Amino acid sequence: MPLAHKICDLTGPGITDRFGVGGTDLGATVRAPDGRLVSVFGDTFEIAGVGGPGWRSPVVLFADPSSVATGLRWTGCAGEDGYAQQVVGYRHKGLRRMGTSMLSLRRISTVLPTDMITLGDDVWLHVMACRELGHPRATELHRSRDSGATWEPADVRWPGDHHGGLFQMLTWETDGTWVYVLTTSFQRAHGLLLHRVPVDRLDDASAWEGWGFDGATWDWGRSPTEVLPGAFGEMSLRRVPDASGREWWLLVVFDAGNYRIDALLLDHPTANLHTAPRTTVVAGAGWGDEDHAGGRVAQLYGGYTVPGSTVEDLHLVVSQWKTDTNWPYKAMQFRVDLSELLPTR
């Protein structure tokens, strides 16, 4: 199966600097209740790179849903006067947070987003409050009641070592009754756990239950058992249709252990991830071997499905950070056809 090809850069000079966004990463995206696309980004700086003025995270940009095919076109941001402000109230480098977050008195360096989900009239955001990069102190939920323009803490949080630390990075999707959630650690060194929670109890930590194996059977309500071993990072679980109209559960995951972004096609979140159809969509490469038209990217991570994607026309937000020079540090949009993963008819 061919790898994805790059559509365009999504952030950087001439693209997002009008919002005060020069260097940034991540870019999980959902469709808001008002129809716009909402994308959330991580550590953000005004200059093209890492460091300098305007350090904040997370920030939110809005896009025109009709622009997916040719590359997301940004139409605005969460913030005043066209400047993408930090949507979770705190100060960096361990200073006291500003606002009412349940993490308000904790010492942290940054708050990073992992994923969003739209449920009814609300958009929910899961974040990690980190002592430093790779070491979350805790995670929590925030909610927007105005399609991503403003956010407030949802009064639910988990310690950083919840489920042995495998509840730090998160992705989720709903079937209308349940929200199914895959989680792992932020260290990109562990496998995946599966959970579910009723749609109307997302902010009730006691309502979350694990998918566990007792040695003979799998079932809900147990301590979660690893559903896929490996060394994983950013993830995106979404329901996407194929050309026939059938809907699938698509998991896109950064496989850090194998230095690539993979896609797995599932008929349900409880499907066997060991045997699910799987392919690499973006391959890691050295800086001298990059080929964005051929899906080879140096120092890649992320991999978030863009709303409006189909199995045959999947669009992904992929990040890149050249850590020795701190540029490129940006998000990009890639496209790939996953039709070969579909069962033969």
What is the pLDDT at residue 95?
36
- pLDDT tens for the chain, 345 residues: list them: 789 999 999 999 999 999 999 999 999 999 999 999 999 999 999 999 999 999 999 999 999 999 999 999 999 999 999 999 999 988 765 433 333 344 443 567 899 999 999 999 999 999 999 986 678 999 999 999 999 999 999 999 999 999 999 999 999 999 999 999 999 999 999 999 999 999 999 999 999 999 999 999 999 999 999 999 999 999 999 999 999 999 999 999 999 999 999 999 999 999 999 999 999 999 999 999 999 999 999 999 999 999 999 999 999 999 999 999 999 999 999 999 999 999 986
What is the pLDDT at residue 92?
65
Q: How far apart are CA 282 and CA 176, in angstroms?
A: 31
Task: Estimate to the nearest angstrom the gap between the alpha carbon of 247 and the chain centroid.
Answer: 21
What is the pLDDT at residue 100?
37
β-strands 300-305, 74-77 pairing: unpaired
What is the pLDDT at residue 345?
62
Model's pTM, two decimal places? Answer: 0.95
State the CATH number of the domain containing residue 172: 2.115.10.20
Q: Which domain range does residue 273 map to? A: 5-341
The phi, psi pair for 137, rounded to 5°, reads: -80, -35
Three-point CA angle 217, 212, 255, nearest 5°? 115
Domain count for the chain: 1
Residue-level length of the chain: 345
